[in-house]
Amino acid sequence: MSPAMGITTESKQENDPLDTHYQNGVKHLCENGISKVPNKYILPVSERPSSDNGVPNAAELSLNLPVIDFAELQGSNRSQVLKSIANACEEYGFFQLVNHGIPSDIISSMIDVSQRFFDLPMEERAKYMSADMCSPVRYGTSFNQTKDGVFCWRDFLKLMCHPLSDVLPHWPSSPVDFRKLAVTYSKETKYLFLTLMEAILESLGLCGDTKKKTGEEDDDILEKFQDGSQLMVVNCYPPCPEPELTLGMPPHSDYGFLTLLLQDDIQGLQIQFKGKWLTVEPLANSFVINIGDHLEIFSNGKYKSVLHRVVVNSTKPRISVASLHSLPFKCMVKPAPQLISQENPRHYKDTDFASFLDYISSCEPKRKNFLESRKLS
């Protein structure tokens, strides 16, 4: 490696994905001082954030997602809000949620303690490094550091959140208030997810007054969600000296039913909308909600998971916390029978979390490839 990158020369080749410097993450690289993006992080020209027909102008860049007022969902205007949710899920695959009821101090504390975790010495963060995809806690970098041909400009802390009594002893014990604050946040987001899923099921006609009648006894999917999986991913995107050459996260869709994303006030999230990458404007004290692959399968394609990515900047660090929710790991996800008809036949195979893990363990995850593998021809 070039000493100009601020990294001492090693015997390994620069493109070796197991190089210790890269495995330690971008926060570690930045702490050691770099003025250029190392080759391992430089994307092919066609995949760089500025490659979409040149650099888009500011008017093309930003996107105001549909805004759903959670408080109105609980009131007399519920039917209209359900229509707005359905429209957002069909047209965008994303919406922003305001007046969600989670106290602002819980939100600000989660952002703050996340930042303090990434500010710990490398030796402390490294305690939680693991290549085991099923580990209750994993610290790592990029997207999938064992498979990525090019690394992305991100460090992460992944926390399994269910059952809490089993996983909590494995969570970071430093900062000293990390577990307490993260547990409170995870419980709040789980409750919010359950309430949102009830509304989404109702918007699909699967519960509430609009429930579609069938001759079969319906499984109570809401009960299954009570015991469902929850994965919390805390993301750190340090300032990047050449942000035009790399991405914080590559284009991808999320695997679960819903993701509840908390982000600070720094721009970074982009979604693909009508063939263009558009930046989602951060909205204070809100959540960005997006449809996952499992909900696309369950809705038989009515609600679609959408490609999104993260761009980085040269001046400010960015923190986000994604809470991904789905059915219990061993449950099969399949299209709801009520949404299958002669006019709209079944479009997806059954799947489960084990299938997802097998898939991403065997190849470099790209775009919506896993979901494509679940489609019926």
pLDDT score recorded for residue 131:
78
Residue 78 domain-assigned? yes
Put residue 62 in one of left, alpha, beta given phi > 0 → left and psi -120 to 50 → alpha: beta
- Bridge partners of 63, per DSSP, are 280
**186 by DSSP, 3-state: which?**
helix
The answer for residues whose C-beta is within 8 angstroms of residue 239's C-beta and 6 or more apart is 30, 312, 313, 314, 315, 316, 317
175 upstream amide cis, omega within 30 of 0: yes
238 upstream amide cis, omega within 30 of 0: no
How long, in residues, is the chain?
377
CATH number of the domain bearing residue 103: 2.60.120.330
pTM above 0.85, yes or no: yes
Tokens linked to 17? 């994905």
Question: Are 227 and 212 spatial neighbours (Cβ–Cβ below 8 Å)?
Answer: no
What separation in angstroms does the CA of 17 have from each of 37, 151, 153? 15, 8, 14
The string of DSSP letters for 192-231 reads HHHHHHHHHHHHTTSSGGGPPP-SSPPP-HHHHHHT--EE
Residue 62 domain-assigned? yes
Residue 108 domain-assigned? yes
Dihedral over alpha carbons 30, 34, 36, 37 (to 10 degrees): -30
Residue 32 domain-assigned? no
CA distance 147 to 159: 21
Biggest CA pair distance of the chain: 71
Identity of the amino acid at 117:
F
Residue 344 domain-assigned? yes
Residue 5 domain-assigned? no
User: Shortest CA distance to 200 belongs to which of 257, 285, 255, 271?
Assistant: 257
pLDDT score recorded for residue 275:
87
Please give, one letter per residue, the 3-state secondary structure of 56-98: CCHHHHEECCCEEEHHHHCCCCHHHHHHHHHHHHHHCCEEEEE
Q: Into how many domains does the chain fold?
A: 1
CA distance 75 to 367: 38
Q: Mark out the alpha helices in 299-346 (DSSP H runs).
A: none
pLDDT, averaged per 10 consecutive residues of the chain (377 residues), comes to: 31 40 81 89 90 44 89 93 97 96 97 97 93 88 78 95 94 97 98 97 82 50 93 97 94 94 94 91 93 96 95 95 94 94 92 74 63 80
Query: Which residues span the domain enclosing 61?
Result: 51-374
Residue 8 domain-assigned? no
Residue 39 domain-assigned? no
What separation in angstroms does the CA of 231 have from each of 157, 184, 191, 304? 10, 14, 14, 21
pLDDT score recorded for residue 147:
73
